[in-house]
Amino acid sequence: VSMSNLYSNSIFWIDVDKIHPNPYQPRREFENDKLQDLANSIRMYGILQPLTVSRVEKMKDDGGMVTDYELIAGERRLRASKIAGLTQVPCVVRVGDDSLMKMELAIIENLQREDLNSIERARAFQRFVTEFKYTHAQIGAKMGKSREYVSNSLRILQLPENILTALSEGKISEGHTRPLMMLIDRPEEQDVLFKEIVFKKISVREAERIARKIAVERIRKFEPTDDPEIIEMEELLQETFGTRVHIDRK
């Protein structure tokens, strides 16, 4: 216990080339400009908050032991430190963590910093479900979020890969995923709306209006009482304006 306390409460300076990425790190996107800004700050002021690592002892070919470190929290700081030319970084060393604890710590640390984008967050939650068999409610309890928040976060992974890529690259916003999700069972129309968002730069509100209209049209196809004059007028206006038009009878 005393050794554990020593590691938990002390800060060690560790060679950067001895620290390896955490395989449970949920974050995949690192903006180069922000990393460079952090590297400049580290050059001027040093690392203000130590990284968190765990000890990993490995057997060498000659039978001896070598100590490496696995990163739990602080990948941005580690990457920026390398850019800044640091050879050592301050670390808090944790001992006795299993793989689940390492994953939880990595995700929680990122969530607390709001560093994860919506896709990274959803994929991190998905790993809890598939690899550790957590329910959405259990994940919510771990993260201080509601079950609904976790379920809604995971829904985004139902979108096609090209839309998820556009979201991670900032070509569409997280708000745009709501109307796209409304068309999850209409892939062709979903793709058309996605392209309109990307190329016409339409707003979230406009995208939601279009998605709702498509949903209404789906219902109207089963309503034989539609006024043919209104339908004809809609088609004429659609041709004139080059966009979708819906006329409500009031």
Q: Known catalytic residues?
A: 75
CB 212 within 8 A of CB 198: no
Inter-axis angle of helices 118-132 and 136-143, to 10 degrees? 120
Rounded Cα–Cα distance for residues 228 and 234 (Å): 10
Sequence-ordered alpha helix ranges (H) in the chain: 2-9, 32-45, 75-84, 99-113, 118-132, 136-143, 147-155, 161-168, 177-182, 187-200, 204-220, 228-241
Stated length of the chain:
250
